[in-house]
């Protein structure tokens, strides 16, 4: 049994397309210094190879900056994404703790080397972006205040004599 036997060719193709991100195949191959016919790549990317060869999967993976196992893992994840989704559960929360819990739980199912660190880094960047946007919105609210309105004296300060 080969390591590629449990991978659906269509899911493998979907993972390849996702990683290629619209870049021209010949350019991806040339930039990585990988020797592979563009027609072969096309057959793999379009899911028309019934029994993917590990050697070819390895070449495609290298061209995409991945290992063969990482590319095959992405294909397995794509297969899971195609499965019918269950109704949203308590896992989906709007709170940050809920988001972190949801991401951590899914990371346990993803077996890509370094994936946890990359996703946790992205999550930290998202949190920073959210904080920055909140500050910007807060600043806009302060500027919207009526300029003619006299601010109320802070509580506990002495009142001015009349």
**Is the pLDDT score of 10 beyond 80?**
yes
**Is the pLDDT score of 87 beyond 80?**
no
Q: What is the mean pLDDT of the chain?
A: 76
Task: For residues 12 and 3, give the distance between their C-alpha atoms in angstroms, rounded to a whole number.
Answer: 13
Break the chain down into helix, strand, coil percent, rounded to 5: 60, 0, 40
First to last CA, the chain: 94
> Is residue 38 within 8 Å of residue 26, measured between CB atoms?
yes
Residue with tokens 């995409």: 64
**30: confidence class by pLDDT, cuts 50, 70, 90:** very high
**Is the pLDDT score of 136 beyond 60?**
yes
Q: Read off the tokens for 66.
A: 């991945």
Comparing 17-31, 37-51, 61-75, 79-93, the range with the smallest average pLDDT is 79-93
Q: Read off the tokens for 125.
A: 């960047």
**122: confidence class by pLDDT, cuts 50, 70, 90:** confident
119: left (phi over 0), alpha (psi -120 to 50) or beta: alpha
**Is the pLDDT score of 14 beyond 70?**
yes
| pTM over 0.75, yes/no | no
């Amino acid at each position: 049994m080969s390591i590629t036997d449990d991978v659906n060719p269509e899911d493998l193709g979907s993972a390849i397309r996702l990683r290629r991100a619209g870049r021209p195949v010949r350019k991806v191959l040339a930039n990585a210094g990988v020797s592979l016919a563009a027609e072969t790549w096309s057959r793999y990317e379009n899911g028309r190879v019934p029994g993917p060869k590990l050697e070819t999967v390895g070449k495609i993976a290298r061209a995409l900056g991945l290992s063969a196992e990482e590319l095959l893992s992405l294909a397995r994840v794509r297969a899971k994404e195609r499965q019918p989704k269950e109704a949203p559960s308590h896992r989906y929360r709007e709170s940050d703790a809920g988001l972190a819990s949801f991401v951590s739980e899914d990371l346990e199912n993803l077996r890509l080397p370094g994936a946890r660190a990359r996703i946790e880094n992205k999550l930290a960047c998202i949190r920073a972006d959210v904080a920055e946007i909140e500050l910007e919105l807060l600043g806009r609210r302060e500027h919207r205040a009526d300029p003619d309105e006299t601010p109320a004296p802070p509580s506990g300060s002495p009142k001015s004599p009349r």
